[in-house]
A and B are shown apart, each in its own frame.
Chain A
Amino acid sequence: MSIAEMLANLEDEAVMAEVKKQISDGVEPMKIFEACQEGMNIVGKKFQDGEYFVSDLMMSSAIFKDVSDVIKPLLGTEGEATIGKVVLGTVEGDIHDIGKDLVHAMLSAGNFEVIDVGIDAPVDSFVNALKENPDAKVLALSCLLTTCYDSLKATVEAVKEAGLTDVKIIIGGGPVDQSVVDFSGADTYGETAQDAVFIAKELM
């Protein structure tokens, strides 16, 4: 079975053993990493098809993170060549992090570098992260509480006021739909963590 298949089957120990074996066999680290990304894509598809559930996504993210920790240091400069940077966080007043963390994992698997400002993140923390990373052109906001729509809106406004007008803003999380896009002034929304990757790629 390939690394991608093992990861897609959530076989954590087998994946790690195979990754370590291939590293010591001298397989190119980038090849191994791509196989893991491929595995995450399969997981994302299974989730979208209703074959996998949230816990499966969480398990796959944990496996991906563990193997990334092993492979990334071996990638050298090649590993730094991501397709882009995304600033991500859950808006102020909201502490739900499961969905945000899945978005983080999927974006990393999709070869994005993610600047994660965490949960209950004040408006300024997003603005500052964007200023510190002028090459980050996408801001992804997670929000699960209707009571935090105002925080979403305030964050979008602050980003615009800070003159960061070329940053595209994607929102997502449980109750978020087009009406929340309209309300907050964000650019668009995504329904799943996988959507975050598709949309970020489009916006790049």
Chain B
Amino acid sequence: MIPDQLFLDRVERIKRTIAFENDRATTCYTGVATPAEHMGVKMADFVSNSDLNLDTTLAYINELNEIAPIDCLNIGAGGNKINVILTMIWLSKVKMPGRELPENSLWQIEEKKVLKDEDYDLAIEQGYDALVQKILPQVLDMGELQEFMEYAQKNGQKNAEKVIANIYPSVNSNNASPPFEILCGARSMSQFFMDCYKIPDKVKAAQDAIFPGVLENMVATTRQTNGMGSWVGGWRGASALVSPKIWDELVWPYMYKMGMTLLENGITPTFHLDQNWDRDIERFLELPEKKFILNTDSMTDLRRARKLLGEHAAFMGDVPPQLLATGTPQQVTDYVNRLLDDIGTKGVFITAGCDAPGNAKFENMAAMFKAAYEYN
């Protein structure tokens, strides 16, 4: 299919924003669960019916786009089973509305100690695939995975074209999880953090052993989905959550290498950073300038980050999820205006911090994009 000229312009806009050549703040949609309530779709149906999920999400974004142009999507427009994706990132079980949970509740990641002591040795001796094969059946119904793959095979192309036909390019098409995050999800955060103190050498050996598989998978999946970019996730590895020693040895070297590997393959890395990364934010200067995005959730101080990083990294963020849920449109507008006053519009994508929550109000989402679009 030949994309609309506006689509191509928007793709250009993404590239210019990363290069700090954009003329205004770029608007970027995220909100995996946000469309359901506003569009009157039951959460249980929204998450279990992939076609409905994609159509509802696009209809919701189109409504926003009427109010202020939505220049791009952070990470697609849905059309996938969220539990399968989340399980693949963290190797944790995900409880679903309408199945393990009430019909209108949000899905829940269930962190349990699935990865046993001896599984570290399995990872060290046999690598990524062996570990995934051992853990995955414990946290995901393999029939569901099969269905997921078949659906993607059959509808992947069609769904991608649908999003293009709605004129929304996506900055990222893949969500890659560093070894620290994978092991943390499978081991549970409390247990894994203890391991980082008590058996750091073993944790490092396991991370090193699964890393080649992680890198390979990251590049292959981004290619398969024809993406321009991939997330490199930073959730439990946040500076606020781990000690400097853990961060320096078990978090950063892997995130850095994932970023560099993506760049070598012509893919833009978006570091998706939840929680506060202030302590270590300068380390991102180690990556080449104007080639990547920091996607923060409002806990990291972007004003300070801009001072320290200058025009080295584009920012994507960071309207607080709680403000979108409980604030007023005026408060959201003020937040966006103040942020842009302080960090400028060059190299800036305005979006919700982390992910707009399920109960974000439509008028707040609209106010966020309108404020970003009209700011000058």
* A and B from one complex: yes
Question: Which residues from chain A sit less than 8 Å from chain B, CB to CB?
Answer: 10, 12, 52-56, 58-59, 62, 93, 95, 97-98, 101, 146-147, 149, 175, 179
Known contacts A12-B198, A147-B358: A59-B241 contact under CB 8 Å: no
- How distant is the Cα of A79 from the Cα of B108 in the complex, in angstroms? 39
Per a CB cutoff under 8 Å, which of A12, A55, A147 touches B325?
A147
Does B194 lie within 8 Å of A53, measured CB to CB?
Answer: no
B193 within 8 A of A: yes
- How distant is the Cα of A12 from the Cα of B193 in the complex, in angstroms? 14
Known contacts A53-B242, A147-B106, A147-B358: A12-B189 contact under CB 8 Å: no
Does B357 lie within 8 Å of A55, measured CB to CB?
Answer: no
> Which residues of B sit under 8 angstroms from A55, Cβ to Cβ?
193, 196-197, 241-243, 246
Known contacts A93-B105, A101-B190, A147-B359: A10-B197 contact under CB 8 Å: yes
- How distant is the Cα of A7 from the Cα of B239 in the complex, in angstroms? 22
Does B197 lie within 8 Å of A146, measured CB to CB?
Answer: no
Leading 8 A-B pairs by shortest Cβ distance: A146-B322, A146-B325, A54-B241, A55-B242, A55-B193, A175-B322, A59-B197, A58-B193
Cβ-closest chain B residue relative to A52: B243
State the Cβ distance, A50 to closest chain B Cβ, in Å.
Answer: 8
- How distant is the Cα of A95 from the Cα of B244 in the complex, in angstroms? 27
1/0 per position for B220-249, CB-CB distance to A under 8 A? 000000000000000000011111101000
Does A12 lie within 8 Å of B359, measured CB to CB?
Answer: no
Does A12 lie within 8 Å of B197, measured CB to CB?
Answer: yes
Per a CB cutoff under 8 Å, which of B110, B197, B239, B357 touches A95?
B110
Does B243 lie within 8 Å of A146, measured CB to CB?
Answer: no
Does A53 lie within 8 Å of B357, measured CB to CB?
Answer: no
User: Main secondary structure on chain A at its contact with chain B?
Assistant: helix
Question: What are 22 A-B contacts with C-beta separation under 8 Å?
Answer: A10-B197, A12-B198, A52-B243, A53-B239, A53-B240, A53-B243, A54-B242, A55-B193, A55-B196, A55-B243, A58-B193, A58-B194, A59-B193, A59-B197, A95-B110, A98-B189, A98-B190, A101-B190, A146-B326, A147-B106, A147-B358, A149-B326
- How distant is the Cα of A101 from the Cα of B191 in the complex, in angstroms? 13
State the Cβ distance, A101 to closest chain B Cβ, in Å.
Answer: 7
A-B pairs with CB below 8 Å: how many?
50
> Which residues of B sit under 8 angstroms from A95, Cβ to Cβ?
108, 110
- How distant is the Cα of A46 from the Cα of B114 in the complex, in angstroms? 32
> Which residues of A sit under 8 angstroms from B106, Cβ to Cβ?
147
> Which residues of A sit under 8 angstroms from B196, Cβ to Cβ?
55
State the Cβ distance, B116 to closest chain A Cβ, in Å.
Answer: 19
B321 within 8 A of A: yes
> Which residues of B sit under 8 angstroms from A147, Cβ to Cβ?
106, 325, 357-359
- How distant is the Cα of A60 from the Cα of B357 in the complex, in angstroms? 33
State the Cβ distance, B58 to closest chain A Cβ, in Å.
Answer: 24
- How distant is the Cα of A93 from the Cα of B257 in the complex, in angstroms? 37
CB interface residues, B 99-141, toward A, < 8 Å? 105-106, 108, 110
Does A56 lie within 8 Å of B243, measured CB to CB?
Answer: yes
CB interface residues, B 55-76, toward A, < 8 Å? none
State the Cβ distance, B146 to closest chain A Cβ, in Å.
Answer: 28
- How distant is the Cα of A62 from the Cα of B194 in the complex, in angstroms? 8
State the Cβ distance, B35 to closest chain A Cβ, in Å.
Answer: 16
- How distant is the Cα of A32 from the Cα of B321 in the complex, in angstroms? 45
State the Cβ distance, A174 to closest chain B Cβ, in Å.
Answer: 9
State the Cβ distance, B358 to closest chain A Cβ, in Å.
Answer: 7
> Which residues of A sit under 8 angstroms from B241, Cβ to Cβ?
53-55
> Which residues of A sit under 8 angstroms from B358, Cβ to Cβ?
147
Given contacts A52-B243, A53-B244, A56-B243, 5 further A-B contacts (CB under 8 A): A55-B246, A97-B190, A101-B190, A146-B325, A147-B325
Cβ-closest chain A residue relative to B111: A95
